[in-house]
Amino acid sequence: MSDNAEIDYLLEEVITLPSMSQTVMHLTEMMNDPEVSLADVGKLISSDPSLALKTLRIVNSAFHGLRETVTSVEHAVTLLGIKVVRNLVLTAAVFDQFQNGEEALLRHSVSCGVAMRALGESGVATNMTIKQPDELFVYGLLHDVGKIIFQEYMPTEYGEVRERCSSGEISSYLAETELIGVDHAALGARLAVKWKLSDALANAIQGHHDFSQCEAAEYRDQAALLCIADYICHSAGLASPDDATPVVPEEAWELTGITSAGILPVLEKVFSSLGDVDELVELAS
């Protein structure tokens, strides 16, 4: 049975992928309109009080380091721009989806977002076009979302995966394929498609363990960056629970232009951001 057929079976018989907030979906549609106004965007987000509140808490977190307190969604949109606020709203919505996941996995996901942002800001990825820091954070935050889905809908099977990985001799995505038939990367990519997120993000999630899983070569550099961010998290003691240390293939360094020497300042920045990780994990709870 092919991977797609296996995923289709799971989605029909076992798993119901969570729906994204209608506010986020509508916001994504609005961003396709070049004439959209800041006021309309602010009004839309404010129409969902819970999401607006969580977004403001993220905006005002130490992680973003703003010099002034943002007091309203309209203020945030004016100060940061529509694209940045959209990524922050998406982050807030994803945090809501993570509430059923274990804290260790949430911490790893947040940490990978922090590592992605640090990689983007450091300038070490010389062979690729770097996206906005907040967009890179979302890439890292979502890279293992498939694991949370497995935990919620297939706890017994995923417990067997965790047991299989506990020796550190096999990576989770290989154990998942062996025991379930589908890995968390493929499942997470399917969720990104359902949420109408970008093709680049869906492909980066799909291919962050195996670049050949990307639909086109143009997406491999983003998947490679995620692979390196995942490796940085493991090196910093922020690993995904019961998972082997990721293997970074030579292709990842070639695709991104990152060198081993370039990793050191990024790793230091991730270490210095541990307090920010704690704060963001608390905001997600």
Nearest one of 97, 138, 88 to 115, comparing CA atoms: 138
The pLDDT value recorded for residue 243 is: 85
The pTM of the full predicted model, rounded to 2 decimals, is 0.93
Ramachandran assignment for 240, one of left (phi > 0), alpha (psi -120 to 50 degrees), beta (any other):
beta
The pLDDT value recorded for residue 12 is: 85
The pLDDT value recorded for residue 267 is: 92
Ramachandran assignment for 246, one of left (phi > 0), alpha (psi -120 to 50 degrees), beta (any other):
beta
Per cent of the chain over pLDDT 70 is 99
3-284 homologous superfamily = Hypothetical protein af1432 (1.10.3210.10)
Per-residue pLDDT of the chain (285 residues; tens, 9 = 90+): 346 778 888 888 899 899 998 999 999 888 888 888 999 999 999 999 999 999 999 999 998 888 899 999 999 999 999 889 999 999 999 998 887 778 899 999 999 999 999 999 999 999 998 899 999 999 999 999 999 999 999 999 999 999 999 888 899 999 999 999 999 999 999 999 999 999 999 999 999 999 999 999 999 999 999 999 999 999 888 988 878 888 899 999 999 999 988 899 999 999 999 999 999 999 887
DSSP label of 63: T
The pLDDT value recorded for residue 3 is: 65
Nearest one of 228, 199, 212, 230 to 111, comparing CA atoms: 230
List the domain boundaries for the chain.
Answer: 3-284
The pLDDT value recorded for residue 2 is: 42
User: Side-chain half-sphere of 63: how many Cα atoms within 13 Å?
Assistant: 28
